[in-house]
Structures are given as C-alpha cells and as structure tokens.
Amino acid sequence: MKTVDVYWSFRSPYSYLATKRLRAMPGTWDVRVRPRPVYPIAIRTPEFFSEIRPQWVPYLLKDVVRLAQFLDLPFGRLDPDPVVMNMQTRQISPDQPHIHRLTRLGILACEAGDAEGWAFMDEVSTLIWSGGAWTVGTALAEAAARAGFDLAELDRREQAETARLDAVIAENQAAQDPHHWGVPLMVFEDEAFFGQDRLDVLEWRLGQSGVARRDA
C-alpha cells in the first residue's frame, strides 16, 4: 500500500481545518495516510513571526475564520494558545507548558495506529480551535476519551518517555525539512503538497498514480 506522510501541528489552524478530510481519506482511497506530528514554526523558528510582514497575521486571522465558515467547522478564539506568545511583540516565550505536551501526546496516539492518531488529533484540535477552554477541568480528558484514550495514562507515558518522544518528533521534522517548512504538509512519493487547499490536488495525484478508490 502506498503512503501519504502528513506533517501536522496542534498550533496550526490550517492543520485543524484539514484534519477531518485527511482522517477520512483512507476510507476513500486505498492509501495509508500517516500522521506525523511536529512542533509548530513558532517553536522551530522563533524569529519567524518577528520577521514576517505586518499584513501576514491579520490576513491569517481573517482567512482561517472564513475557511472554517466555508467548511462548516467550529472556530473560536484560542483559550489558551498552545504556544505562549506575546502577540503585540510577536516574541515567543521560552516557557512553553502546552505545545510540547500536546505534541508528545499526539505521537503516543499515532503510535497506537494511524486511525487512532487521527482520532486523537481530530478531537483535541477541534476542542482547541473551536474556542474551548481546553486546559480547564476535564475538557482535554474528555476529548482524549472520545478518541479512545485515557489522558492520565498518556500523560504518565509522556513524562516517562519524554526523551524518546522528542526524538520521534525530531525525526518527523527532519523528514519534513527537505520539502517545506509549513503544515499541514502532505508528502506522497517524494512530492510535497503544502496546505489544506492542496488536498484536491493530492487526491488527483493519488488517482494519477494508480491508487484505487475504495468508493468506486
């Protein structure tokens, strides 16, 4: 079976907006869609946001809201942002209590299986990007449970296996780097497709490459 590698981040709104379609893709095509969580660009390249043009962030915010409406997906203000960042100065805090944990948990979920990983990433990213107070009470535990996971057990393993999980994240990042810096990034037969707006082109390429449709 051929494979599509998907480099994906919990802090990327475009990753969130592509998740349900990526999760469903193996039901449409005879292809493995392998989730490979990575850290967001704010963590990998902290100077990125201080160097971009001032129009970039306002456009991004308008675009993701518009796209969520187009896709009929919930979208709300981050509460809190998975990356601790001063939005006025665009400085990334050295103290990051959320994104490392989330990404490591994502790796653990993906190691249980592709479908399990997508379920976890879908439920958690929907909670985060729909404006849910995801660090309050049992919200995150309930999202994990909807995906079939015990958050307490995942957290226990995340603490016990931090070094190993960080190595897996670094391996994913090293595999992504030759192709593109952004997420979501889909790579099929060494050809990269960047962004949720390239999913149609990816599916066209799957068909061109002889991947069978399951719903044919």
Computed over every residue of the chain, the mean pLDDT equals 94
Residue 79 parent element (H or E):
none
Contact between 169 and 103 under an 8 Å Cβ cutoff? The reply is: yes
Amino acid (one-letter) located at 154: L
| DSSP symbol at 26 | H
Output the pLDDT for position 99. Answer: 97
Helical ranges in 74-197 per DSSP H = 99-111, 114-129, 139-146, 151-160, 162-176
How much is the pTM?
Answer: 0.95
The pair of structure tokens assigned to 118 is: 């997508």
Q: How much is the average pLDDT of 53-80?
A: 93
In the sheet that holds 2-8, the strands lie side by side as: 31-37, 2-8, 185-188, 191-194
Structure confidence by residue, pLDDT tens digits, 116-170? 999 999 999 999 999 989 999 999 999 999 999 999 999 999 999 999 999 999 9
Output the pLDDT for position 92. Answer: 82
